[in-house]
Structures are given as structure tokens and as C-alpha cells.
Chains A and B, each alone.
Chain A
Amino acid sequence: MTTAHVDRPRKRPYRAPAPLGGRGSSGVQRTRTGSRRSRSALAFLAPALIVLAIFVVWPMVSALQMSFTDASGFGQAEWVGLDNYTRIFTDPDIRDAVVNTVVYAVLFTPTAVVVALALALLLTSDRLPLRGLFRTALFLPFIISLAVAALAWSYLIDPQVGLLHYWLRGVGIDLGNVLQDPTLAMPAVALVAVWKNFGFYMVIFMAGLQEIPGSLYEAAKMDGANAWTRFWRITLPMLSSTTAFVLIFATIAALQAFDQIYVMTGGGPYGNTQTVVMEIYESGFRKLDLGFASALSYVLLLATLVLSIVQFVFFGRREEES
């Protein structure tokens, strides 16, 4: 979608044309109104900026500083230079955690996005009855606390008391102890996260779908395009900025996976679901190695940033092409 720069302020304050060949009084006038406008803008922004500074910027700065020390959170901390960072790239546990995080992201992100898009398409279709009910029902998991959802799911798939097991056994399937199975544990926690989060992405997709002008579909129908072609040629390209947003969000969520893993497996069985954020939590709060935990947080932040930028650029280009 190419948009020309047509957005202009609707009302511009009247300004007398500057007298030719010199700096007249109107120039002074302009800076004065300018500074007044920026002052009132600042007043509006101040509450948000203060909160942001105290709760986001300050912790980030102090974490960066901490990442070069052996801080434990209290007492004296010594400067250790890049030690923490070199440890990240040599520690085999961290390497395992990175691999686990990537596996989790690969399981979670595409699944969540595809499920969300499919259901968004379904729920915007006029032919579906009780749409409102379905929309609410599918969005509900997103409102529940992730820890609560994780706990509920742990019980559902528990081999001793789990209802899901009971049902599956009825049809002859024995899942075994899913959360203690080194190959099934990660898919299980990823699926719970998909179940928990797709509602949010679905709503974003639904908003994106409503932005697409109906005339495009009508024209395509007249040209004889079938539903599949209409999806690939109209819906998907028109949704590309929405998809980019959802993908970036889902990727960030995947890289920061913690709650459901902490509750459901605690990183086990034997470290197979230990993600980077779990590692950060353990280093910081279990081993009191806040310096190392901060360094790891920064490396994760950079990785997330790079991935987001790559996705943004990729989808930005697709948007220009279409």
C-alpha cells in the first residue's frame, strides 16, 4: 500500500508571510509558539515519561552497569569487565538454553500465528452463526493469568489424575507422562502458550481483515478468482503489516518464555525445557549472580531487537512491493 503524504494538520494557525529579505518579527513569533506547543506536549507526556524513566529506563541502565560486575544484589560489587559476557558464549548450559529457546520459538510462533489467522478468517466470515460468542470464548484464555492456565493444563495432562488422559485412554491412546518426557515436554509447554496467546493475535488479525476494502474482493470475484486465490492475492498481501506486527509480538513472546515453563516443568525433564529466561531467573534469584543474569538479559534483548528489525524490514519491503 503506497500512501502519499497527504496528512496535514487540518487547521494551521494563520501566519503572516515573512517580509522579504530579512528576519522579521514573525520568525520570533514562530519559535515562541513552537516552544509553547512543545511545552504543552511535554506536560501531556510527563506522566508517561516519568513512569517510563523510573520503571524502564533506570532499571535498564542499572542492569547494563550491573552486567559488568559480579553484583549479588546487596553489599559491594566488583567490576569484572566482559567476564560475564564471555561466560555466556562459553557456558554449555547457556548454549543448551539457547537451543531450547529456539526450539520453543519455532514450535510456538508459526503455530500461534497460523491458528490466529485461520480463526480470524473464520470469525469474520458472515456465514458463521454465533460469532460474538465464539470470539469471546476464543479470546478468554488470553485474559487468564498464564501461571493459572499452566497449572490447569498440568493437571489436565497429569498421567495420574489428568482428565485428558482419562479421555484419551478411553479411545486407546496412552500419552504417558508428557511433562516428564524429554521429547514431548517442550511441545506441550509451547502448545499451552499457543492456546493462551492466539486469542490476542486473532483479534489483531480481525482488525486487519476489516481494514481490507470489500471492493477488492468484489472485483476479484467478477474476474473469476476463487476463494484460495483471493486469500493469497488479496487477503495475505493486504495483511502484511498486521502479520509483521503479530509475528514480531509472537517472536518476542517466544524468546521471553518463562511462566508456563516455570510452572509446568520447572525447566525439566533434566533441562530439556530450560529457556534463556529460565536461566536468567535461576542465575539471578537462585544463585544470586545478578551480574551474569543482567549480561544474559542484555544479550537476549539484543537478539530480540535484531530479530524484530529483520522481520520489520522484510515485511516492510513486502508491503512496498504489493
Chain B
Amino acid sequence: MKRIPSLVAASLTLALVSLTACSSDGSSDADGPVELTFWHGYTEADGDVLEQIVDDFNAAHDGEITITTQVNPWAVIDDTFLPALSADNGPEIVAMPAERLPVYADRGAFVDLDDFYDADEATPALNTGALDMVTVDGTRYGVPTGFVPLTMFYNKALFDAAGVEVPTTWDEWVTAAEALTVDQDGDGTPEQYGLALADHATVGNGVWPSLFYGNGGAIVEDGKAVVDSPENAETLEFWHDAITAGKISPTGVDGVSGDGLFSSGRAAMYIGGPWMATVSEENGVDYGIAPIPAGPQEQAASAIGVSMALTEQADQAQQEAAQEFFSYFLSQQEATTWALGSGWPPLRTDVPASDVAENPVVAALTEQAALGRPLLPGVVNSTDVLTAVDTLTQRAMAGDPVDALLAEAQTAVQAALDD
């Protein structure tokens, strides 16, 4: 019988603890330094550099501003940010994949940064594509932390063995891929593919938009769906034919299995982001980086972006402190440090490739930076648009008739834009 009170007490404490854990203590002390919490998902070498930048900033603002970082994978941030906001216990600064920013901005989660941009000296030099990704309905809600065009990784050893040059046009690309596709046992399933062309769910979702751009097509333009175009039909048919005729790439590949195919040496070419450099090194793949080969109309690549934003939970002092950090982060010196350490090209156009030459990956990507186009900038409901594009490309590669698919995708994308 003695156990009852202690049980009741224990459960009450538990309940109280969980309640207090929900309540926020984000407000800043009037006397002490302004305290900011910063969530980001840079977990590799890029994370170390970002921590260093934050530490340096804290040291430079000793007693005034203290930023505490919390590192989680991007997917975890996306899953926990909403509950944290609704419990009034979110971070003041949050970094997230750029295509996720508009949906939060549209719901009023972020502070309008137009005044910051008007006042800050760093911002005119920012890559305009990166800026487009933080702009929703003409208002800037974030600061870019990364903007990089998708690029082609190729396996140098396999290229040398097949005696193939790095392709620069689509036709060369397909020819090279055919030469690099090896079906040793002749069972119709190649052991080595020339190319791993992901047809859905790629990180950054940029493979197909890049191909569409190459032939003069697009997905969304000026807030209108433009998927259903003869250019896009041609693109889909070209790649479907190339894949069926030469078996140059497996179908049904998503970003994760594409990464695996390239890093295990089973695919000679792959479209990816800067992280593929690290992945390749870890797996002992001697890789080269080249721009995505030019299409019949244009040479362009979809870009991946990451942006950080200032949440509405920040009070006035915290907002000022965060903007102080943003301008520190965007300064020419820190932007260069950040680029070198993170492996992403500099966000400022006034940092020349020669300044980042010590990191060959960054230097190569910096030269390609101008090819990058932001993916669906300002589109709030990007989830549904990308789902529609994924459906389109998967079914087209599986051999469904392209015209009907494009019409369907057009309706779905427009509905998502109107939503």
C-alpha cells in the first residue's frame, strides 16, 4: 500500500516534467548576452567549418551574442521544426533545404528580411539564383548558405579502360555511356552501367529539370505550369530511347541507389551534388567533375540550395543579433572560408575561382556556378509539384506514352500552384 503515493507522485512528476519541457525559455536576458539557437544539418566536414564560423562569431561578440548550434540531419530538422515551432520552443535561426523555405514562409514562420537586404553591404554580390530561392512573393525570407548546380561525376578508371573522352553534348553522352556499359555474362543485365540516371526521388530533385532545361523546356515559369511542352516530350523520348536501346542506365533508380551505383563503381557517370566527392573518396573511386553535358538548346543545370531563416519566435534583440550573424556569415572572408570548408562554391560572385583553388572540387564547381538555376523558386507547394514530376519521369522511363503523361503532369503541377 505504501507504493501508491510514490507511484502517483512519480507519474505527476513525469507529467510535469514533460509539460515544462515543452515550454520555451528562448527569451533573452536583459543584462546578459543575447542567446540564439541555430539548427542546421551540416554533419560532415561542412559542419566542422560552420561550427568554427559560429565559434569565431561568438568570440568576436563576447558578452553580447551567443549562438548555440544544434546539428541534426536535414530530414530530422524538417520533421522536428514544426512541432518545435508549435510548442514555441523552436530555434531562432534554422537552416533548411531551400525548396522547403517557401512553405514555412507562406505560413508566417519567418521574419521578413527585406530591410536587412537593403541595409547590408554583402548582399548585392550574392548569386542571384541563390537569392531567388529565399524570395517568396517578392519578399526575402532567408539567407542562402549554399547554392550549387548539379554536376556530372565520372569514374576516371572506367573512362581510361574504355578509352572514352568526357562528353560535352547529349549525343556524346549517350555514345560514351554505351561504350561504358558492360554486360559480361550476356544475360541482358549489364554488370556495369555507363550512366546511373535517377528517374525519381533524387536529392535536390534536380536531375530531370536539368535535362528539361538542356532542351529548352522547364517545369514552372512565372508561377505557371509549363511542363506540357513539345521540348519536354522530346527530352523524355530521347532518354527513354537511349536507356531502352543501349541499357546504358538501370531504371527505377532513386537518389540513394544512384549514389550507391556510382560509389561502388557499377556506374561510370552520375549526376549529383558536391557530397558525391566525399562519397567517392570514401569508396576509393577516382572521380572527375564535369558540367552536365549540354542539351540541344542550352547548357544548364538545376541547382541545390540551402537557406537559413529567422523564425518569428525571435524577439527584437534576437532578430538584430541574428542579422548581425547573417552579415558576418556573408562577408567576403567568411564566405571564402565557408566555401573552402564546405566544398560548395562561394555564394558571392565576387569570390573568384582562384581564391578557392586550394580545394579542386570547389574550384571546379565555382566555374560551373553560372549554369545553376534555382529549382522552383518561391513555389510554396513544391512537394506536390515534385511528386508530379517524379511520376512523370518514372512512368516515362518505364515506357508509358509521353503525351498523356505530360498532360497529366501539367494538370497536377498547375493544381499544386493554385492550391
| Residues on A facing B (Cβ under 8 Å) | 43-44, 46-48, 50-51, 54, 72-76, 158-161, 174, 177, 179-182, 266, 268-271, 282, 284-288
Contacts and interface: CB of A to CB of B under 8 A. Distances in A.
**Nearest 6 CB-CB pairs, A to B?**
A180-B252, A47-B11, A270-B391, A73-B86, A177-B252, A72-B107
Contact of B11 (A46, A271, A282): A46
A269 B251 contact: no
Nearest to A49: B11
29 contacts: A46-B8, A47-B7, A47-B11, A48-B11, A51-B11, A54-B18, A72-B108, A73-B86, A74-B85, A74-B86, A74-B107, A75-B108, A159-B250, A160-B250, A160-B260, A160-B261, A161-B264, A174-B189, A177-B250, A179-B252, A180-B251, A180-B394, A270-B200, A270-B395, A271-B391, A285-B82, A286-B78, A286-B103, A287-B381
Nearest to A177: B252
Given A47-B10, A48-B11, A269-B252, 9 more contacts: A72-B108, A74-B85, A161-B264, A177-B252, A180-B251, A268-B200, A268-B394, A271-B387, A288-B104
Given A75-B107, A180-B394, A285-B82, A160 B15 contact: no
Contacts of A285: 78-79, 82
Nearest to A73: B86
B83 interface: yes
Interface of B: 4, 7-8, 10-12, 14-15, 18-19, 78-79, 82-83, 85-86, 103-104, 107-109, 189, 200-201, 250-252, 257, 260-261, 264, 266, 312, 381, 383-384, 387, 390-391, 394-395, 398
Given A160-B250, A288-B82, A268 B11 contact: no
B103 A287 contact: yes
Contacts of A268: 200-201, 390, 394
B8 A51 contact: no
Given A180-B394, A285-B79, A288-B82, A43 B250 contact: no
Contacts of A181: 252
A12 B178 CA distance: 89
B contact face: mostly helix, strand, loop, or mixed: helix
B107 A288 contact: yes
Given A268-B200, A270-B395, A50 B12 contact: yes
A181 B104 CA distance: 34
Given A50-B12, A160-B261, A269-B200, A73 B85 contact: yes
A44 B107 contact: no
B15 A54 contact: yes
Nearest to A70: B107
B383 A43 contact: no
A43 B200 contact: no
A287 B86 contact: no
Nearest to B5: A43
Nearest to B106: A288
B383 A287 contact: yes
Contacts of B104: 288
B169 to A, nearest CB: 28
Nearest to A93: B384
B11 A270 contact: no
A155 to B, nearest CB: 10
A43 B8 contact: yes
A273 to B, nearest CB: 13
Contacts of A76: 108
A108 to B, nearest CB: 24
Contacts of B189: 174
Contacts of B394: 180, 268-270
A153 B62 CA distance: 51
Contacts of A43: 4, 8
Nearest to B201: A266
B120 to A, nearest CB: 27
A133 B19 CA distance: 45
B18 A73 contact: no
A44 B4 contact: yes
B381 to A, nearest CB: 7
B240 to A, nearest CB: 15
A72 B266 CA distance: 44
Given A54-B18, A288-B104, A75 B260 contact: no
Nearest to A180: B252
Given A50-B12, A160-B257, A161-B260, A75 B7 contact: no
A75 B15 CA distance: 26
Contacts of B395: 270
A75 B312 contact: yes
A153 B312 CA distance: 42
Contacts of A284: 82
A160 B8 CA distance: 55
Contacts of A158: 257
Contacts of A287: 103, 381, 383-384
B82 A73 contact: yes
Contacts of B260: 160-161
Given A46-B8, A287-B383, A160 B86 contact: no
Contacts of A288: 82, 103-104, 107
Contact of A50 (B11, B384, B391): B11
B83 A73 contact: yes
Contacts of B200: 268-270
Nearest to B256: A154
Nearest to A178: B252
A36 B365 CA distance: 77
Most buried by A among B107, B261, B381: B107
